[in-house]
Each structure stands twice: as structure tokens, then as C-alpha cells.
Amino acid sequence: MASVELAVTAWNNGKHHASGAGYGLRVSIADRDKHMKREWGSIDLYLPVPDGLAKVNIDKPSFWTDSCRELIHHQIGAWLIHQRKGHWPKGSPPKIKLVQRGERAFDVRPAWNSP
């Protein structure tokens, strides 16, 4: 499989829970439609921390709309908070890469130090 890399951004529902609840990754419509399938039910995100596997539900109607396409999981938020990226200026969320490692699996990599 050729390496597929998706550019995503951090997302928060506006509540900034210390537990990481309410955080996620916003995927473009084009990347979602090209690299994810609703019938999978969930995808595995491998965060760069010990025990960093997050199983994220993608079989929800909201994920497949034009307005709500976030991969939401408290472990994403906990990782962002640990990286001191839990808060950001309006309109400037941290940039992150998803690198496909299998049909339903992606490695999560920080891209905030990338150009």
C-alpha cells in the first residue's frame, strides 16, 4: 500500500475538559470520502504515546455531513493537552497528520513544527 497522508486539524467543542473529552480531529470532506468508509464502523488512530490506540466511531450520521466531520475521542484531547496544544487562537487549530497504516488504521503525527 502506498503511504497516504491526510492533513487534519485539532478540533474542540468549546468546553476544553481536562480529561480530553470534547476534542477531536477535523478531516476534510475530500479525504474522508476518499480514505474512509462508513461501513467500517470505526477506525483505529494510533497516537504517539504509550497505549495510544483510540477506536473512533465513524458510523454516525453527523460524521458524513458537510458540517460535522470530526474524529472525536477523549484520548485525542488528552494527547493534545499533554502536548500543550489543548488551547489555540480562534481560527488557528494545531495541524496534525494522519498517516495510513492499514485499511482502517492511521498513525497520528504532530505537524505543528512542519512548514
pLDDT over 70 at 77, yes or no: yes
pLDDT of residue 50: 87
pLDDT of residue 3: 79
Report if residue 72 sits inside a domain: yes
Instruction: Answer for the pair 6, 35: CB distance below 8 angstroms, yes or no.
Output: yes
pLDDT of residue 115: 46
Q: How confident is the model at residue 13 (pLDDT cuts 50, 70, 90)?
A: very high
Report if residue 59 sits inside a domain: yes
Count of structural domains, the chain: 1
Report if residue 98 sits inside a domain: yes
User: pLDDT by residue (tens digit) across 30-75?
Assistant: 999 999 999 999 999 999 998 889 999 999 999 999 988 999 999 9
Sign of CA dihedral 101, 106, 110, 111: positive
- Residue-wise DSSP of 58-110: --SGGGGSSS--EEE-HHHHHHHHHTT-S---TT-PPEEEEEEEETTEEEEEE
* Pairing assessment for the beta strands 95-102 and 42-46 based on DSSP bridges: unpaired
Report if residue 66 sits inside a domain: yes
Report if residue 115 sits inside a domain: no
Q: Which residue range is the domain that position 56 belongs to?
A: 5-110
Report if residue 70 sits inside a domain: yes
